[in-house]
Amino acid sequence: MNRSINIKINGKSYSDVVEDRLLLVNYIRDVAGLTGTHMGCDTGHCGACTIVMNGEAVKSCLILAVQAEGASVETVEGMASETGLHPLQVSFRKNFAVQCGFCTAGILMSALALLRNNPEPNSEDISKALTGNICRCEGYPNIVKAIEEASLVMKAAKDLGREPRGKENEKEG
Amino acid sequence: MYTLTPPKFDYKRASSVEEACKLLAATDGTKVIAGGQSLLVAMRLRLASPAVLVDIGHISGLGNISEEGMGLNIGATCTHSKLARSKEVMERFPILCEAAARVGDEQVRNRGTIGGSISHADPAGNYAPVLTALNAKIALVSASNRRTIAASNFFEGPYTTVLNGDELVEKVILEKKPSSGTREGHSFMKFSTMPQEFATVNVASIVAIKDGKFEEVTVALGALLPKPRIMAELGESLMGKAASAENIRQASQELHLGSEIISDYKASAQYRTHIAKVLVARSLLTAVNRATGAE
Ligand SMILES: Cc1cc2nc3c(=O)[nH]c(=O)nc-3n(C[C@H](O)[C@H](O)[C@H](O)COP(=O)(O)OP(=O)(O)OC[C@H]3O[C@@H](n4cnc5c(N)ncnc54)[C@H](O)[C@@H]3O)c2cc1C
Ligand code: FES
Ligand code: FES
CATH architecture of A2-77: Roll (3.10)
Question: What pLDDT, on a 0 to 100 scale, did the predictor assign at position A168?
Answer: 47
What is the domain-level CATH number for residue B200?
3.30.390.50
ipTM of the complex: 0.93
Closest CA to A92 of A108, A77, A113, A73: A108
B8 near A21, Cβ under 8 Å? yes
Name every chain A residue with its beta carbon within 8 A of the beta carbon of B81: 56
Which of A22, A25, A47 faces B107 most closely, judged by CB atoms? A47
The answer on B159 and B15 residing in a single domain is yes
pLDDT, tens digit (0-9, with 9 covering 90-100), for A121-132: 999 999 999 999
B38 lines ligand 1 (CB under 6 A): yes
Q: Does residue A42 have its Cβ closer than 6 Å to ligand 2?
A: yes
Chain B contact probe: residue of A4, A6, A18, A20 with most B CBs at under 10 A: A20
Average pLDDT, integer, range B254-270: 91
Residues A6-27 have pLDDT tens digits of 999 999 999 999 999 999 999 9
Rounded Cα distance between A106 and B256, Å, is 45
Rg of chain B over all Cα atoms, to the nearest angstrom: 20
- Tell me whether residues A110 and B53 touch, CB distance under 8 A: no
- Assess whether pLDDT exceeds 80 at residue B91: yes
Contact B207, B182 (CB under 8 A): no
At A173 the pLDDT is 39
Of B177, B203, B218, the residue at which a domain comes to its end is B177
- Three-state DSSP state, A150: helix
pLDDT at position A169 over 70: no
Share of residues in chain A with pLDDT > 70 (%): 94
**Is the confidence at residue A30, as pLDDT, over 80?**
yes
Mean pLDDT of B47-68: 96
Task: Single out the residue of A80, A82, A41, A81 nearest to residue A62, CA to CA.
Answer: A41
Q: Where are the domains of chain A?
A: 2-77, 87-172
- pTM for the full predicted model: 0.95
**Whether residue A87 has its Cβ less than 6 Å from ligand 2:** no
Question: How many whole angstroms separate alpha carbon A50 and alpha carbon A22?
Answer: 17
Q: What is the CATH number of the domain that holds B88?
A: 3.30.465.10
In a domain, B2, yes or no: no
Query: According to the model, what pLDDT value does residue A1 have?
Result: 83
Tens digit of each residue's pLDDT (9 = 90 or more) over B178-191: 666 778 999 999 99
pLDDT digit string (tens) for B139-184?
999 999 999 999 999 999 999 999 999 999 999 999 987 666 778 9
Contact criterion met (CB < 8 Å) for A64 and B45: no
Buried b (16+ CB within 10 A) or exposed e, B5-25: ebeebbbbbbeebebbbebbe
Domain match, B115 and B189 both: no
**pLDDT, tens digit, for every residue of B225-249?**
999 999 999 999 999 999 999 999 9
**Best probe residue, ligand 3, of A95, A104, A108, A110 (max atoms within 8 Å of C-beta):** A104
Ligand nearest to the CA of B222: 1
pLDDT tops 70 at residue B109: yes
Q: What is the pLDDT of residues B7-46, one digit of tens each?
A: 999 999 999 999 999 999 999 999 999 999 999 999 999 9
Rg (C-alpha) for chain A, rounded Å, is 16
Confidence band for A62, pLDDT divided at 50, 70 and 90: very high
